[in-house]
Structure 1
Amino acid sequence: MPGPDRYARAVLPGWQKLSPSIKDSVFALALTVLAFVPTVSTIGPQLGDLPKRPVDALALVLVVAQAAPLAIRRRWPGGCLAITGIAFALHQSFGYPNTIAGIGFYLALFAVGAHLVRYRRVAAAIATAGYTGLAITLHLLGSPSQLQVFGVFYLGLVVMWMTGTAMRRWRAEEAENRRLGVEVATAGERARIARDLHDVVTHHVTAMVVQADAAQFLLDGAPEQVGKGLNAISDTGRQALTELRHLLGVLEATGDSARVDRSPTLGRISDLVEQARLSGQPVELHRRGDQRVHAIDIELAAYRVVQEALTNAMKHAAGHLTRVEIDDHDDRIEIEVTTDGISAGAPAVESGGRGLRGLRERVRMLDGELVAAARPEGGFRVHALIPSRRQA
């Protein structure tokens, strides 16, 4: 036979999907019904300890008036408190038997603290004045309760109000934290896209410039090779447009344009190497280890490291041998790009947070590290170590 926990798991998801107004209405109805159940109907707050009088029609109306207004406790918390407060005061003043519906007065105070937006101090002053009037009325009607009893009861009401206020502040802080989280995530995504745009544009435009220069040289010396050079420029331009369209698709985040399978991966590093070779840059590619499938952010970071290193090689060490070594381990991807004879004074870190600096940030976000420095024997070396995790 199914246990209570199974029923709870089946009911709770549906309850959470209901609107707040429906939840409040159901709660108010449940409390009203409990007020007429003999075993629990007399469990409730009492103030004044006046002699009890029999239940009549007015008593039934006051019972309903203390519970039913909870249906509007979030939409109109002030009105809810006014109705339940007056009903509670009359119920206590006439000396009717205790009722569980009196809990509605406490819950209305909590709702005012949690949901009332305007005139909060005015509402607090009116509620305090109303309670003072009730205490005086009960005393004049012959209540045996001492002053400290009324004081303690009032402190209980204040605690309910302040608890609602604390809940209001907590929700406001949660909303602010979510807003800040969205802003941080948005800023991070914008920075990532900016780095990708820099990498794509810089690499491909550099390659096209180098290829155009080579084509101009061939035009003067070997015209039959011009077609090959122009084809290389055309292929490079198409590759640049493809990657730019992908990045624009990510910005739009619509349809198939934002699919991850369009992002550059380790398997396309050979295309980068071939593109550099077509630009006249001698490049050697060495891969060790089995070609594994990694998370897309890891593969994209590795791709960008090689792309930026080759771009710098074509810009600052054109015509010098460049070696690309990739070790694909179970727990990490290790990349080393070395270039012979990089031009003197070439910047190791580009300005404006782009280039190698942006790559360092990208790799650091993946708990990896990137080192870019001149080699003692001449040339330049870029070394990246990226911890790996398998793609789910």
Structure 2
Amino acid sequence: MFANAARSARIWSDWWRARPLSVKDAALAAALMLLASVPTMSAIGVQLGDLPKRPPDALAVALAAAQSAPLVVRSRWPAACLAIIGAAFALHQALSCPQTFAGVGLYLALYAAGAYQARFRRGLVAVSTAGYVLLAVVLHSLGSPNGVPEFVAFYLTLAVIWMAGAGMRRWRADEAERRRLGAEVAAAAERARIARELHDVVTHHVTAMVVQADAAQFLVGSAPERAGAGLAAISDTGRRALTELRYLLGVLEATGDSAVAGRAPTLGKVGDLVEQARLAGQPVELAERGEQRPQPVDVELAAYRVVQEALTNAIKYATGQLTAVTVHHHDDHLEIEVITDGPADAAPAVPSGGRGLDGLRERVRMLDGELAAGPRPGGGFGVRALIPYRSTP
């Protein structure tokens, strides 16, 4: 028995901590109790029965406090708050206690019930309506001068207050749904960004390694020294892939380490991409025009990925064909052009998923840039990107 009692106590304790009291509700209850004690504020109070008033006494003070103090729990237990304040208001009117500002607590409790009550809302409306009808009948039997129109008008006022609270509840629910959908969209965008990064890193380096391994396999018997150079190139390509993957993992961890940003692939490392492609047997020419200026990491990384994806496609579809990489630094934007000779419809040397250029277009578009890729009229394939400059953060 003691064990069950202790478990019940823990359950109630956890439930109590899960729903803490609101400081705003406590301040509202204290303010209403204070204003209820001010005689000049009594004219603003709620009056329904219009019965002859009795002299103020301790019972009137207690009923006034009962119409304001329960507001402390109006957002935590809205139904209980409305029940206590509604009962106190009914007794206050039936006993002809002096009018006070505490009667406004009925409006506040009703609004809170509409805004915060989650379960049995229809039942609460039905019980509250039945209680109001009973109060109207009692007041009429006690000689209240008010008739049916006055009682109906007061009930409609209470209904409007309830609907105002219900409208606030729906607004909060819609806002929470918008936030949830926004979080899902942001998560989907982040997954797409990570997929693009992984595609750019893995596809490029693995393609180069496969081509280098195939070449080394044919050179083992005829030219061992060249086969050794090919194996060394595979090893170097693997190290580069690990370096970029470490950078990507550092970004995902979001540790804020400045060293992570320093490992980000930049436009200044395009020469490494060209050298890696040459090691894979792809003849590549690099030309750079204009004066390079520092740019934010996203611009530098996008430019790097454009060259990387174009060289990857050149190795896949036009192995051994000449590829020309041109980087032109204009005054307000960066222009990158990669042209590969050979047929545009050649079969790939390595299976392709066909998503690299689409992801690249999305990356460049997010920087307000443009990317065009397709077969050239004179043969071969071309990739051209225009990326606007941005101020360095």
**Residue of structure 2 in register with 1:202 after alignment:** 203
**Residue of structure 1 in register with 2:101 after alignment:** 100
**Residue of structure 2 in register with 1:387 after alignment:** 388
**Residue of structure 1 in register with 2:320 after alignment:** 319
- Give matches, 1:135-214, under 5 Å: 135-214=136-215
Cα gap change, 1:279 to 1:46, in 2 (>3 Å): same
TM-score (norm 2): 0.87
Letter in 2 for 1:100: F
1:325 aligned counterpart, secondary structure: strand
The separation in 1 between residues aligned to 2:331 and 2:25, in whole angstroms, is: 55
Cα-to-partner distance string for 1:323-362 (whole Å, 9 max, x where unaligned): 1122334543322111111453458xx9756111222222
C-alpha deviation, 1:318, in angstroms: 1.7
C-alpha deviation, 1:238, in angstroms: 0.8
**Residue of structure 1 in register with 2:340 after alignment:** 339
The separation in 2 between residues aligned to 1:367 and 1:95, in whole angstroms, is: 73
Residues 344 and 375, structure 2, Cα contact 8 Å, conserved in 1: no
Higher mean Cα deviation, 142-151 or 225-234? Answer: 225-234
Letter in 2 for 1:146: G
Cα gap change, 1:366 to 1:119, in 2 (>3 Å): same
Letter in 1 for 2:90: A
Cα-to-partner distance string for 1:282-319 (whole Å, 9 max, x where unaligned): 22222333323333333322222111100011111122
The separation in 1 between residues aligned to 2:107 and 2:30, in whole angstroms, is: 16
Letter in 2 for 1:127: S
Residues 250 and 257, structure 1, Cα contact 8 Å, conserved in 2: no
Cα gap change, 1:296 to 1:85, in 2 (>3 Å): same
1:184 aligned counterpart, secondary structure: helix
**Residue of structure 2 in register with 1:368 after alignment:** 369
Residues 313 and 342, structure 1, Cα contact 8 Å, conserved in 2: no
Cα gap change, 1:240 to 1:65, in 2 (>3 Å): same
Residues 46 and 98, structure 1, Cα contact 8 Å, conserved in 2: yes
Cα-to-partner distance string for 1:183-203 (whole Å, 9 max, x where unaligned): 111111111111221111111
C-alpha deviation, 1:261, in angstroms: 4.0
TM-score (norm 1): 0.88
2:44 aligned counterpart, secondary structure: coil
- What is the aligned-residue RMSD (CA, Å)? 2.3
Residues 318 and 346, structure 2, Cα contact 8 Å, conserved in 1: no
Cα gap change, 1:71 to 1:190, in 2 (>3 Å): same
Letter in 2 for 1:341: G
**Residue of structure 2 in register with 1:10 after alignment:** none
The separation in 2 between residues aligned to 1:215 and 1:94, in whole angstroms, is: 103
1:61 aligned counterpart, secondary structure: helix
Number of aligned residue pairs: give it: 372
Identity of aligned residues (%): 67
Cα-to-partner distance string for 1:76-120 (whole Å, 9 max, x where unaligned): 110000011011111122222322211111111111111111111
- Give matches, 1:1-392, under 5 Å: 21-253=22-254, 256=257, 259-342=260-343, 344-346=345-347, 354-392=355-393
Residues 54 and 96, structure 1, Cα contact 8 Å, conserved in 2: yes
The separation in 2 between residues aligned to 1:351 and 1:208, in whole angstroms, is: 15
C-alpha deviation, 1:150, in angstroms: 1.3
The separation in 2 between residues aligned to 1:381 and 1:29, in whole angstroms, is: 74
Residues 52 and 97, structure 1, Cα contact 8 Å, conserved in 2: yes
Cα gap change, 1:214 to 1:391, in 2 (>3 Å): same
Unaligned runs of 5+ in 1: 1-18
Higher mean Cα deviation, 287-296 or 134-143? Answer: 287-296
Unaligned runs of 5+ in 2: 1-19
